[in-house]
Amino acid sequence: MSVQVGYKKQFLFGIIFIIIILSVFEISARLYEYSPVSQQCYFVDSPAVADMDYFLVKQICIDHNSMQYAAFPNSSVTSLMPKTTETININSFGLRGSEFTQEKSIDSYRIILVGGSSTFGSGSVDENTITGFMQKLFDDSDFDIEVINAGVPGAESFRETWLIRNILFDLDPDLIINFGGFNEARMINEPYEREAYRNYIDYNQTDDSEKNENDNMSSDPSGFNNFPFYRTPFVIYDIFFHDSNKQSLITYDDISFAKITTEYYENWKNICDISAQKNIKTVIILQPASGMTTRNIFPGEIDTGEELHEMYQRLAVSLDNLGKHCSLTADFRMIFDDINQPIFFDQIHTGDFGNKIIAEKIYEKILPIVSKDLSN
C-alpha cells in the first residue's frame, strides 16, 4: 500500500513539476514577446524619425506591437480589436482613431482611407497618420469633413475590398480612397498566403447552396493563428525556425506577375463599379516606396528590389485602366523625388514628415471631387 502511495505522490509531483516548467516557459515567452528584441523597434533610431521624440517613437513601437487582431464574424479577414494605448487608439469598429457614429450627420461628408500599415500609420500617433493630417487640412477649410482611417497592417486588395463590401459600405461613405500597392507587390514573395486568401474569399462569395458541408475552409487562411492562451510554441518558432529569407526560394516569372496584376485590377474595378452604383466616389492611389524612382536611397531606407520594382510598374499600368471605372487614380511613386532627406524608415513606412506630405498630396487630388460633391 505504501509503495502505491509513494508512486502516486511521485506522479503528482511529476505533474506539478511539468506544470511549473511549462509555466516558466510561458512567462518567459510572454516577456520575450513584449521585449524590445521581439518587438523589432528598428525604426527608433532611423534618420526618418529623427525629428520625433525618441521616447515617443519607442512608445509608438511598443503600442503598435501590443495590438491584437480578431477575425470578423464568419470571416478570415482580420481587424484590430478595440484598444486604447498612449499613442494608438482602436475604436469599437476595429478602426484606428476616435469613436464615431455609424450614422453620419446630414451635412457631413465622410471619407474613408483604406490600405495597409502605411495607411494605418505604424510609426505615428493617431493625429499624425495620413488620415490625421488630412483631417487637419479639412478642419482648416469651410467643409464639414470626416476622415476615417481604415488601414489594417498587412492588408492587400483581397482583404481591403472584402472590408469595403462587408463593413465600410455600411458606414455610408461619400468617398473611398485606397492608398496601397506595396502589400500587393510583395505578395509575389508570398504566393501561398495570397492563394489562401483568394480561395477563402472566393469560397465565401459563393451561394450557400454551392458549398459542400464537408468543405474545411480554415478560419485563419494565412496559417498564423492568433492563439492567445499559450504562446510558447509560437515564440520558439519565431526564435529558432522562422526564416525571414524564405522569399529567396520563390521563382519569379511573367505568369506570377500577370496573375497578381490582373487580380489587383479586377478587385478594384469591381469595387469602383459597385461604388458608382451607390453614388460613392472612389480614388485608387499607388503608394510610394523606397528605391522605386531615381531618388537617392538615404540611410535607414531599404531598396525594394528588382522584383518589386517590376511588380510596381505593372500595377502602375493597371491604374490607367482603372481610371475608366474609378473616380480618380494617381501614381504617387515620385512624390518624394524632390525631398533631399530620409523619408522611409524601411522600404515603405514613413514617419510624421512623410505622412504630412502624403496627406497634402491626397488633399490636392481629392479636393475638386469633394468640392463638386458638396456643391451639388
pLDDT at 297: 92
> What is the helix (H) or strand (E) element at residue 374, kind and residue range?
helix 352-375
Query: Is the predicted pLDDT of residue 166 greater than 50, yes or no?
Result: yes
CATH number where 214 lies? 3.40.50.1110
SS3 156: coil
Domain shared by 196 and 110, yes or no? yes
Same domain, 81 and 158: yes
- Which spans in 140-190 are helix H? 157-166, 182-186
Split into its structural domains, the chain has a count of: 2
Give whichever of 186-195, 290-299, 335-344 has the largest mean pLDDT. Answer: 335-344
If asked whether residues 66 and 10 sit together in one domain, one would say no
> Which pLDDT score is estimated for 308?
85
Residue 226 reports pLDDT greater than 50: no
N- to C-terminal Cα distance for the chain? 92
User: pLDDT of 211-221, one tens digit each?
Assistant: 444 333 333 43
Query: Which residues have C-beta within 8 Å of that of residue 293, sequence separation ≥ 6?
Result: 333, 334, 337
Mean pLDDT of the chain: 82
Same domain, 118 and 18: no
Q: Is the same domain home to 29 and 85? A: no
* pTM passes above 0.95: no
Query: In whole angstroms, what is the distance from residue 142 CA to residue 293 CA?
Result: 37
Which three cell numbers mark 326? 474609378
**151 contacts 120 by C-beta, under 8 angstroms:** yes
Rounded-to-5 percentages of helix, strand, coil across the chain: 50, 10, 40
- Whether residues 326 and 218 share a domain: the answer is yes
What nine digits make up the cell of 214?
Answer: 464537408
At 135, the amino acid letter reads Q
The pLDDT confidence band at residue 232, using thresholds 50, 70 and 90, is: low
What is the tens place of the pLDDT at every residue in 258-280? Answer: 888 999 999 999 999 999 999 99
Environment class of 198 (CB within 10 Å of its CB; exposed 0-12, middle 13-18, buried 19+): middle
The DSSP code for 287 is P
Residues 11 and 110 both lie in one domain: no
Mean pLDDT of 117-136: 96
Q: How many CB atoms lie within 10 A of CB 172?
A: 14
**263 Cβ neighbours under 8 A, 6+ residues apart:** 157, 158, 198
Q: What is the CA radius of gyration of the chain?
A: 23
Mean pLDDT of 42-55: 88
Burial class (CB in 10 A: 0-12, 13-18, 19+), 61: buried
Instruction: Indicate if 3 and 58 belong to the same structural domain.
Output: no
> What pLDDT does 255 receive?
80
Identify the domain containing residue 7 by its residue range.
1-33
Residues 1 and 80 in one domain: no
Both 123 and 22 in one domain: the answer is no
Do 85 and 139 share a structural domain? yes
Instruction: Provide the 3-class DSSP secondary structure of residue 249.
Output: helix
Residue 305 pLDDT grade (very low, low, confident, very high; cuts 50, 70, 90):
confident
One domain, residues 152 and 174: yes
Q: Which three cell numbers stand for residue 248?
A: 529567396
How confident is the model over 288-312, as a mean pLDDT?
A: 89
